[in-house]
Amino acid sequence: MIYRTPEYCRDFCCIADKCRDSCCKGWEIDIDPDTAKYYNSVGGEFGKRLRDNIRDGCFVLTEDERCPFLNKKGLCDIYTELGEDRLCRICSDHPRYFEWFDGLKEGGTGLCCEAAAELILSRPFTLSETDIPDEGAAGSYDEELFSLIFSARSHMLGILGDESISPADALCRILDIAADVQESIDMPFPDTETKVSGSDLRCIFGCFAELEPIDENWLPYIKDCTEHLDCLPAHNDSADVYLRRIAQYLIFRYLLKSVYDGEILGYTKFAAVSIIIIGCLFRYSALKQPDLSLSDYAEIAKNYSKETEYCEENMEKLLELFADEPFFSISSLKAQLKEILGGNVDNI
């Protein structure tokens, strides 16, 4: 079996207590059955503490939504008491993600993690492959469709990685590629004929303001950005490299998943919309702090990822909206990309 992953993943390392936004708070933490069985067997005072803080297969979060084993130093008591190999699967894997196909496993590190976000934004997107034992975890899918989507993704990643093409132009091109693939497997759709409105960007932000928030600070942040859309500073071209790498991450992570659910255009729109939102958030942050650092850009992208990718209900809602709302049409998204990032979109 081939394991394919971005090269930067080999350098990922949890920064533990140095992390400003711990993954051990604000989330429901499920415990896999094997680990739950082991925790139930642990003796002594720590074993009792484990069992007292687990209910219905999850850790019982504190009032401020922290894992009960996240100590005041920002470290995990299970890790320090029992060892790294005794963490439950979700804690051991996070922020890594994996997908399985016949003879192929793909994975990477998710943008929602502070350390991973800095890696994703700071490193060129290149893939590496290694041979691993067959894990046999793939679901059933149409092999011809997989080949079609795989080829389309390779084409998209090539376009996004071509620095002679602006990020806006590149995203417009991959939207067209996704539309062609989608149309080849579905009935034709009138998506590209939608009339573009000047209020589309506000409508897009309005949808994000209605999603289920993970962090209590997210909704006020998004709403305040929406109120300032008319006075954002000009797009800073120095951010293009970060937006390009975020788009590559999203296309790599999600497009092959569409072999199971058929959401080729939906996942491609997610990449385009994400760049629109994150691009605006970059400019919004520049209102108060003109000289943003890599860490600043990574923090913005991380917060966005946490509120979208890492909430299953929000992702499902977004995919529905992408298919139904006219301001998420291809023509509207192209117009927004041109307006926010610039580029020769009209010539595509």
4-32 confidence digits (pLDDT tens):
999 999 998 877 777 777 777 777 788 99
Identify the pLDDT of residue 114: 92
Query: Cα(183)–Cα(186) distance, rounded to whole angstroms?
Result: 5
Query: Cα(62)–Cα(17) distance, rounded to whole angstroms?
Result: 18
For 273-321, what is each residue's pLDDT tens digit? 999 999 999 999 999 898 999 999 999 999 999 999 988 999 999 999 9
337 and 343 in contact (C-beta within 8 Å)? yes
Identify the pLDDT of residue 93: 83
Report how far apart, in Å, the C-alpha atoms of 77 and of each of 55, 57, 86, 273, 335 are: 18, 18, 11, 39, 50
Percent of the chain predicted with pLDDT > 90: 75
- Calculate the CA 102 to chain-centre distance: 24
Residue from 282, 322, 321 nearest 301 by CA: 282
Domain ranges of the chain: 24-92, 143-347
pLDDT exceeds 70 at position 344 = no
For 153-166, what is each residue's pLDDT tens digit? 999 999 999 999 99
Total residue count of the chain as it appears in this document: 348
pLDDT exceeds 50 at position 346 = no
Q: Give the containing element (helix H, strand E) for 52.
A: helix 44-52
For 187-210, what is each residue's pLDDT tens digit? 665 565 556 666 899 999 999 999
Query: Cα(275)–Cα(195) distance, rounded to whole angstroms?
Result: 21
Query: Cα(166)–Cα(25) distance, rounded to whole angstroms?
Result: 38
Query: Cα(149)–Cα(177) distance, rounded to whole angstroms?
Result: 10
Helix, strand, or coil (residue 322): helix
295-313 burial, b at 16+ Cβ within 10 Å, e below that, comes to eebbbbbbbbbbbbbbbee
98 and 9 in contact (C-beta within 8 Å)? no
For 218-251, what is each residue's pLDDT tens digit? 999 999 999 999 999 999 999 999 999 999 999 9
Identify the pLDDT of residue 342: 76
> Which residues face 66 on adjacent strands?
25
Six token digits for residue 282 = 């970059």
Which regions of the chain does DSSP assign to beta strands (E)? Answer: 2-6, 54-55, 58-59, 96-101, 104-109, 127-131
Beta strands 96-101; 104-109: pairing state: antiparallel
Mean pLDDT of all residues belonging to the chain: 91
